[in-house]
Amino acid sequence: MRLLITGFDPFGGQPINPSWEAVNALPDRIGRCQLDKLQIPTVFGAAARRVLARAEETQPDLILSVGQAALRGAITPEQIGINLRRATLADNAGQQPADEPILPGGPDGLFSTLPVPEMARAIQAAGIPGQVSYSAGAFVCNDVLYTLLHHFRGSGTGVGFVHVPLLPQQARPGEASLTLEQMVAGLTAAIEIL
Ligand code: PCA
């Protein structure tokens, strides 16, 4: 199976984004999946368009996007994308939408079409903190998840999203983080069951 897997570029003044660091460190093959890795910009609209353009070329069976979620302590497969843009900081193109739909008239929410609870359990079974998340926020990560879920609705192409915590070098004292090795182990375990 062809798995298109994406990570984001750094945003919000951070020098790195753990989502891309982790995706880039994954092996090219995990379980049944051959990985095609793509870095995407933290920009509303443009990020999802980049994924769609690559998917058009390569026709993947599965698409998994990975993003950074500061202050989370676990690797969190996302259950749902919502039709909302609400940004508390500007994206990498200076856009800061306040309460706009991603897709005017579209459904309020769309569930992930990857096996979310099973992925969370597989992460835990690998000894890495893992938990289902019921909100991908309303920033660019949710934008990508919702847009892809809508685009591939009913197509047989599975779409999902996983947030990863900060890396130790990004976290301020007392803030949660996971090491790159933990992120790689957790993502590998989640992909192994796909
Ligand atoms: N995290 C942001 C966008 C890019 C990223 O890595 C988010 O959670 O929306």
Please state whether beta strands 33-40 and 80-82 pair in parallel, antiparallel, or not at all (unpaired).
unpaired
Q: Has 163 been annotated as catalytic?
A: yes
Q: For residue 3, what are the β-bridge partners?
A: 35, 62
pLDDT score of 47: 99
Question: What is the enclosing helix (H) or strand (E) of 121?
Answer: helix 116-125
Nearest-atom index, ligand 1, CA of 91: 3
Digits of tens for pLDDT over the chain (194 positions)? 999 999 999 999 999 999 999 999 999 999 999 999 999 999 999 999 999 999 999 999 999 999 999 999 999 999 999 999 999 999 999 999 999 999 999 999 999 999 999 999 999 999 999 999 999 999 999 999 999 999 999 999 999 999 999 999 999 999 999 999 999 999 999 999 99
CB 180 within 8 A of CB 190: no
Cα 84–187–90 angle (5° rounding)? 30
pLDDT for the residue numbered 23: 99
Q: Which CATH architecture has domain 2-192?
A: 3-Layer(aba) Sandwich (3.40)
Catalytic, out of 21, 56, 78, 175:
78
Q: What is the structure's pLDDT at 125?
A: 98
Candidate list 100, 141, 151, 175, residue with the active-site label: 141
Query: Does residue 140 line the site of ligand 1, with CB under 6 A?
Result: yes
Domain boundaries, the chain: 2-192
The answer, as to whether pTM is greater than 0.85, is yes
Tokens 């990570």 appear where?
7
140-151 helix and 46-58 helix, angle to the nearest 10 degrees: 40
